[in-house]
Amino acid sequence: MAFSADELRVLRRALATALNPAPLQDEDVQDCLRLAESVDDAVREAGRLRAFLLADLTRYREALPGSLPGYLELLQDALAAGYDPAADDLSALRTLRSHPRAAGLLERCQVLAERSVRARLARVSQAVATAPRTRLLALPGGRAADEPKPSTPKPPAPIKRPAPKPSEVFPPRRRPVPPPPPEERVAG
């Protein structure tokens, strides 16, 4: 982000006022508000530009291998701007590692991805270590054991049905009917 000469003068006056508190003139307050608004606009525009570049990078990645030169160029630009390579980027570069430029970018992306994962794990472990310890509510002796339990309506008792008889469950087998004797058979 670059500041113009006027914006630098406003910034210098604001910093001097912050270090040596003194009443500000209305003109200085208006200048500080305009500078703050300009900085906010620049931050919003940088966010929109980043979103556009990441969407463009995704489009080029999905069009691989035909878009190889453009994808590698966009990925290099994104990495220079502080982009952490995603798993899709690593996968795409692995399939393109026969290309020397893609192989070099793959090594760089693997280092950056590993560094990013380690940093996230360090933040998580630090957050877990500094988190306040609370009593477990589900275990005996926890806060829930001291509190009275709300009364819940008991479910209705199940209806008792008589047990079925074995003849109802297993019907009797019928005996097979023997075939008629050969002299009673009629040809026909």
Q: Mind listing the pLDDT tens digit of every residue in the chain (188 residues)?
A: 677 888 888 888 888 888 888 887 888 888 888 888 888 888 899 889 888 988 999 998 888 888 888 989 999 988 988 889 989 999 999 998 899 999 999 999 999 999 999 999 999 888 877 777 666 565 555 555 556 666 777 877 778 888 888 777 777 777 888 877 777 666 65
3-state percent helix, strand, coil for the chain, nearest multiple of 5: 60, 0, 40
DSSP string, 18-85: HHS--PPPHHHHHHHHHHHHHHHHHHHHHHHHHHHHHHHHHHHHHTTTTTHHHHHHHHHHHHHTTPPP
DSSP one-letter code for 142: S
Q: What is the pLDDT of residue 173?
A: 77
The contacts of residue 130 (CB under 8 Å, 6+ apart) are: none
Q: How many CB atoms lie within 10 A of CB 71?
A: 26
Four-CA torsion 28, 33, 36, 41, nearest 10 degrees: -140
Question: Can you say how many angstroms the Cα of residue 78 is from the centroid of all Cα atoms in its chain?
Answer: 21
Number of Cα atoms under 13 Å in the Cβ half of residue 187: 0
C-alpha closest to that of 24 among 6, 39, 15? 15
Query: What does the pLDDT read at residue 114?
Result: 93
Residue 147 DSSP code:
S
What DSSP character marks residue 133? P
Q: Is 143 helix (H, G, I), strand (E, B) or coil?
A: helix
pLDDT value for 107? 93
**For residues 88 and 30, what is the distance between their CA atoms, to the nearest angstrom?**
47
